[in-house]
Structure 1
């Protein structure tokens, strides 16, 4: 088996099992030639590039809107609910985010104080309130997160249906490895 391919100059690829596991204690390379291994290493390296780019995009959106990740997730949920004619309640937000009602109250207090949301009387349940995103925040979210999502959607739309199925299965299987990593077998 040939020597591991280098990423930049003399730096070996940190995704290459020929570098990280040359004795094949964890990763079996049986039946694979170097071209096949190189292709898999390049796929993993490219996934890392996507993950880093996605993290930069998310961070830029959060910085632009001066919000944390949970706050951004709440705003996206409220916006989607509003756009689909749903009355968004604090309980629905708590359920969507998987957080307590007390945490949701703090989150909504923060978002309201920053001018992102407003609480209104619920149209049919006087014990509850409706939460709405202010127009300025909705526009800012559309111009940051929305446009990024549209570009990603366009990339996925360029694939054929069978290519999308392969990519979807691959990413789902890859995501499942994270669950396996948290529950290793003996």
Structure 2
């Protein structure tokens, strides 16, 4: 028996017709992608010496910086859905590791903003740059029609996942 037969469920509870088997194959490919992405995130966290929440915070702060938006500790807490106490601990940890700085708010003397350091941007680009370029090369290689199909599929799957209700019969 091949590894593929062992690692990919057949979808045995589904009808055994061509359309269903194509669907099972597509969902299995999506699961393999999600597994690879999870492993990549773990390698990135390990390479940068960060936990999952730290990496999410840094990514959010870098995106905000590129968009020229200031981020307060309250904004960060809301984005990460964590308490203000947890945010303080997180920011303290990221300041100690040299990934972020606390700076005075540009218009409110009483407030602070959280800013990623230049080294953090450089580190993230070095850690993820080649992988992003490989992914972009693949995405750019498909036709406009193929891109629309992929985007529609992914958005429809995202919507289906977002509708999952654990209390639904």
TM bucket normalised to smaller: 0.7 to 0.9
Post-superposition Cα deviations, 1:18-55, rounded to whole Å, max 9, x if no partner, equal xx32xxxxx344xx34xx45433332332222112111
Q: Which has the larger radius of gyration?
A: 1
* TM-score, normalised via structure 1 length: 0.77
Q: Which residue of 2 aligns with 1:96?
A: 79
**Cα distance, 1:146 vs structure 2:** 4.0
Among candidates 146, 167, 175, match of residue 150 of structure 2: 167
2:22 maps to 1:39: yes
2:117 maps to 1:134: yes
Counterparts in 2 of 1:109-120, with a 5 A limit? 109-120=92-103
CA RMSD of aligned residues (A): 2.5
Asked which structure has the greater RCO (Cα within 8 Å, sep 6+), the reply is 2
Q: Which runs of 5+ in 1 are unaligned?
A: 1-5, 22-26
Post-superposition Cα deviations, 1:35-94, rounded to whole Å, max 9, x if no partner, equal x45433332332222112111111111001111111111111111222232222212212
SS at 1:115 equivalent: coil
**Equivalences, count:** 169
8 Å CA contact 1:15–1:44 kept in 2: the answer is no
Q: Which runs of 5+ in 2 are unaligned?
A: none
Counterparts in 2 of 1:11-160, with a 5 A limit? 11=5, 14-17=8-11, 20-21=12-13, 27-29=14-16, 32-33=17-18, 36-160=19-143
The verdict on how the C-alpha distance between 1:133 and 1:175 changes in structure 2, with shifts beyond 3 A counting, is same
For 1:44 and 1:50, locate their aligned partners in 2 and report how far apart those are by CA, in whole Å.
Answer: 10
Higher helix share: 2
The verdict on how the C-alpha distance between 1:53 and 1:85 changes in structure 2, with shifts beyond 3 A counting, is same
* TM-score, normalised via structure 2 length: 0.83
